Amino acid sequence: MQLEFHQLERRWEHLRVRHAARQRRLLASLAESGQQTPIVVVAAEGAAERYVVIDGYKRIAALEQLGRDTVEAVIWPMSEAAAVVLDRSLRLSERETALEVGWLLAELEQRFGYGLDELARRFDRSVSWVSRRLALVELLPEAIQQQVREGKVAAQAAMKFLVPVARQSLEDCQRMAAIFAQHHCDSRQAGQLYAAWRKGSAAIRKRRHPQTHSGCSRAVLQNAAASAGASPGRDRRRTDPRSGNGGRDCEPRPAAAGGGGGHGGGSPAIESRAISDRAYSKATASH
């Protein structure tokens, strides 16, 4: 059926991470071929001729950009909460990050009063699985979560690096997120920044500069960012999993035969650690 945009309630739009490149491709496709897949809605409770959008937010945004005023939709005959859970279980095209799942769980908890046991039952997961993802949302400051939604900070980088920093220092977490956004850090560069931060002792991180009052950690992060962003095209070295990034991006290559002691035979992990050490040295030398 055809629905006009003013009939739609977009309650779940803030749970989606924006991807500019994907949105441009979708816009081009809709301009050329029109809408091929209907959005999914459910009837809004207690509001005649109003519908809650469950899936299709990117299509709606693209159609609005094209100047359209209606959208093709299919109505699911179920409650809003049931439709949201079903939609997630059917979403096979792209895998959500734990942070995005955490947003969904937090919204269901707040809007419908679901407890941990009920959320675990509906998602067919353990209570621990639910609790861990809700903790991600609770730990990260809202301003950083908004940067993730807008695509300024990668969701994976936020989950793997910013959450551990937030557990120790919200101030350092906010600084690191700002650098991630400013330098458009990919996962490798974010890992180098995080490794440089971890190598600083707690005392050094807390040390205050008499003029800036921002501590050595700011300089550590800024210098690490400069090292990470200086030659992104040439630097293909990988982050050492022991340096704190969880080792999930990639496994380090084995050391060269003979122990890697010769020139040019060092492992990528050692080279990556050297980058962080140099960044850290630059930062602390002036303090």
Encode pLDDT of 125-145 as tens digits: 899 999 988 988 888 999 999
**Distance (Å, whole) CA 162 – CA 159:** 6
* Least confident range of 102-106, 115-119, 130-134, 183-187: 183-187
User: How confident is the model over 106-114, as a mean pLDDT?
Assistant: 89
Residue range 199-258, pLDDT digits in tens: 876 665 655 443 333 444 455 555 655 655 544 444 444 444 334 443 333 333 444 444
Q: What is the pLDDT of residue 205?
A: 60
CATH number given to 1-92? 3.90.1530.10
Compute, in degrees rounded to 10, the torsion defined by CA atoms 224, 230, 235, 237: 0
Tell me the Cα Rg of the chain.
23
How far is residue 116's CA from residue 130's CA, in Å, rounded to a whole number? 7
Q: Which helix or strand (DSSP H or E) is residue 253 part of?
A: none
Say if CB 40 and CB 7 are below 8 A apart: no
Most confident of 5-19, 115-129, 225-239: 115-129
Q: Cβ distance 187 to 156 under 8 Å?
A: yes
23 or 28: whose pLDDT is higher?
28
